[in-house]
Structure 1
């Protein structure tokens, strides 16, 4: 079977593919080489049941193999690779779900610009999970209060609540705004939620009111930094 140098790359680490198989060793390296999460360990324990299940469904001899020597590594059917990606990290799994799956299913690969957007979007998902987990750890329990925190971010950054932003964009009420944001907008949201998370943990904020105030403060700080930078560009260009 011919191994291709594919267009798949995460964190500047190429991920080789061969027909319907992916190199799990490359995936492990791309995800940062996390300790105790090497392909062999995963396949022996956490991934063993899934590998057997896929074997029954796919019915192919080329399911999972270890190839020694230069250019070798652990290789597996790409559906096994997707399960392994989930084990490695949420951000890497999100990227694989959008980029690797499309590539292996024969969908045209995204343009470099799309790939950069996808990378930021995936990071925003991971940050959102951290942010909401921190809110929950600091006494935010009601759905409406999570929505308040989200709106605190959007109002601080963009001057409008989530509902108002959807109206401006002509989107349905339940549309995911972040799927429509630019890379710069997503980057601002990531930084605002990161700052808010850090603040809540450092100051031991508690309850919806405190956490929403902290979130609004972080979002305004990011908005001000972006505004100042853009204003300075205009002055320099004159």
Structure 2
């Protein structure tokens, strides 16, 4: 199962999918005051999973086992019971027909279209971070100092802080394409600020203003 979580809004509530179309059944069921185990214990569900797994094994030569249901413990975005995309819509039907239709649309978009868009954004963010590290290294070397690993880590945390308010790392594989584009834009601006000789505090202040301007432009474009 892919690690990248994709939260999508259903009637104002986030329902977590991943890039492969798996759904967090625990989160989805809670929206309807139910739990996944109620559905998983049904005789018709058990039969469906058994036959589906058998068919998938037949079509995937060399595989002796297919995972369609997995559970992650803890208190993270991954926590809960996750269902394979081939179970997700059937499960959604048990919750609500409207929800079933919505899930079908979201999974189709994730699997068919958004994956390519995300991959492109992820590659761009990787290039952006590489450029940021290079700019930071040059700035330190020109000032007669040797850049240390924590300098690059802190700069990445700065990028995250101006976006989220938290001076902490983030797993970019779990960000959406939109979030990755935002990160890349801020990295590019940070490279320019480093080139101008701005210190850490000045870069932070400038990047915060930049994020505010980007947010305002985005809200205006949505309102049009």
TM-score with structure 1 setting the length? 0.39
Using CA pairs under 8 Å that are at least 6 residues apart, name the structure with larger relative contact order, 1 or 2. 2
